[in-house]
Each structure stands twice: as structure tokens, then as C-alpha cells.
Amino acid sequence: MDTTSQFWNWFKDNNKSYTFLNSVDETVKEQLLDKLLEQLHNYCDKLYFEIGGFPDEDQELIITAEGDKNYFDKVEKLINAAPQIDCWTFIAFKPAMPEIFTSKWDDLELNTEDMWFLPLSNNKNQDLGVRVCFNNQDLLKDNETLTPLLYKMLDTIVGEKAFALDIHYVDTDLLPDDPEEEGLYPILELPKYIEWHKSQRTQSSS
């Protein structure tokens, strides 16, 4: 039996333990999560998961490669082999969540409402880059913290797969006085812009 089948057979036998994760004791919850990670790592030790959902709704199991393109095929293979299990939805890659949110890393806090982006296009191969702009000069000085936090937020805004495959370059700058006049867009419009950019590439290559 291959490791894909082993994982799903194990999950079929044990999924009920994961339906009420938020209702169990913290120690039991940790043990359950460790066991799930162990089973997943038997299939591929470069994959991780997010699990949960609201009571009385389907629970979600998201399989993620944490943005590592080398293991995207492993994610897709596992999810494509997923069986139908009542009350569960299985998802390949962390999905886009283009909603207003705040994210924190050490002492640095960013809010999507204060972030804008300028599309940067490489004319030769039409790869898309983005310049993310903030209205706080001090933010730009702390690049060691800003870069990982920004990447984490972009991954959340556009989704794991789009961030890894569709954005080829990211830099930062100070927000101009009139961002719209300078061709910038609110950061939460980035998923829509990526789709538009891909459709333009498809048209120009056909």
C-alpha cells in the first residue's frame, strides 16, 4: 500500500477525534495534532496542515507545503486521492483570504488597511512583481522583521500557491501622498490584479 492510501485510511479511521478539537483538553489536542503531523510526515516530511472549522459546519483539513514549490505536486497528489468523508472538506494549499486583518511579528504590526501595492512588470517575460508601500518611514528601516512579516501577509492575502507561483519579486517603499494618482492599489485588490495579469499573459501568448 502506498503512503497516500495509508494516510487516508488512517484519517478515515480517526477523523472523528478531530471533529471536536476545540472542545478537548489542551494536552489531548496537542497529542492529536502531533499524531496527525506524524501520519502526514510518513507521506512527505515537507508538508504541514491546518485544521478546524466552526461547530455544525464541515471541518477543513488544509494541506500546505508552506510555499515550497518543490513539494506542490505532493500536496496535489494527496488531496486528489482524498476520500469522501462526511463533515470534512479537504483543501490543497492555504487559500486566499483577502479580508482586512492585522498581523504582528515581534514589535512590528501591520494592518492591510494601511498597505498599498504598485505592480511591477518585467516586459521581457511578463513576470509580475509588487512594490508594497507603507505610510511609515520607520517600518522600512526594520527590514529584518518587515520582510518575513510581509511575506506571511502576502501569502495569506493571495493564497499559498499564487504567492509562490505568480509573484516573482517583492520590494517596499514609502507610500506617496496620492497613491491612486501614482498607480497604486489597496493591498487587498492584489488577488484580483493577479488574475487580470494572468489573463493578459494568456491573451498575449495565444
Quick: pLDDT tens for 98-156: 799 999 888 888 999 999 999 997 666 678 999 999 988 777 776 678 888 999 999 99
Residues 6 or more apart from 191 whose CB is under 8 A from it? Answer: 96, 98, 157, 158, 159, 162
**Any idea how long the chain is?**
206
Quick: pLDDT tens for 125-136: 678 999 999 988
pTM: 0.85
Neighbours of 46 (CB within 10 A): 13
Q: What percentage of the chain exceeds 70 in pLDDT?
A: 94
Supply 203's cell numbers.
Answer: 491573451
